[in-house]
Amino acid sequence: MRLITWNLWWRFGDWQSRQPAILDTLKKLNPDVVCLQEVWSSENGADQAHQLAQALGMNYVRTPERWWKGHSFGNAILSKDPISSSESVQLPPIDGPGTRWALTAIVDRDELRIPIICTHLDYRFDQSQRRQEQVRALFDLVRSEHDAEGHPVILAGDFNATPNSVEIQMITGEGPTPVEGLAMTDAWPQCNDTPGWTWDKKNPYLADATWPQRRLDYVFVSWPRPAPLGNVKSAQLAGVEPINGVTASDHWAVVVDLVDSPSD
């Protein structure tokens, strides 16, 4: 199964010229599941997640629309296979205007029930404590969907934190995890010895970024799991090459291929 996570940079920059580049990149990658952050919809009815899903022939779910200046800002999950259920959960703190969400979808792939969680954590450099609180909330969701004998939970998104941060180490088990006996495999280092920066000064939109050269976007797979089901076969970056001279987003996409059969 091929899964992509990608922050699409909302309606920032020359957003209209970026839409064809986003779609073309996704078409070439031919994913089974796509986890998107910073997707937009408009009060006039236009919806980026719907447009992408329709063009790709995929099903989709998205977080609730909360309007700001006529547009919403959220997460979406696209899937070639049916999505049997979904849930949107606000992450802490839930009392501010910039609430972050976790979007859960159950994908029915052949005879497998695959839980997918797409999220986007707070971005400020000084908000590690807040991100840690958000990771604890995410682990409540992972625990509720985790079946050590079934398909592992896939958690993907823009975590706005580097691999050596407390919040990421809480996920991978390099630090204490929020739920005893439950941790998650970070897909990138399973197949690569490069840093995998997704917030990269090679991206033309980051010419003036204050802190580039960071890996902020991840795909995690829950553990324990019935190996090899859910094991990482490959991980790569995408969206790096311009399409007709246009770079699609300020983040590179992360593309991960997972074992989706107990016998692979």
pLDDT < 50 regions, the chain: none
Q: Distances from the Cα of 225 to the Cαs of 89, 96, 113, 229, 245, in angstroms?
A: 25, 37, 14, 7, 43
Strand partners, 219: 156
pLDDT of residue 94: 80
pLDDT of residue 97: 62
pLDDT of residue 262: 79
pLDDT of residue 87: 97
Q: What is the dihedral of CA 154, 158, 162, 165, to 10 degrees?
A: -70
**Which domains, from first to last, does the chain contain?**
2-258 (3.60.10.10)
Q: Are 147 and 182 in contact (CB under 8 A)?
A: no
pLDDT of residue 146: 97
**Structure token pair of residue 15:** 């957003």
Alpha-carbon gap, residue 247 to 240, rounded angstroms: 7
Compute how many other C-beta atoms are within 10 angstroms of the C-beta atom of residue 12: 13
Q: Token match 């976007």: residue?
A: 217
Q: Are 253 and 5 in contact (CB under 8 A)?
A: yes
Q: Are 26 and 249 in contact (CB under 8 A)?
A: no
- With a pLDDT cut of 70, the percent of the chain lying above it is 98
The pTM score is: 0.97
pLDDT of residue 85: 98
Residue 56 CB-density burial (10 A; 0-12 exposed, 13-18 middle, 19+ buried): middle
Alpha-carbon gap, residue 64 to 76, rounded angstroms: 10
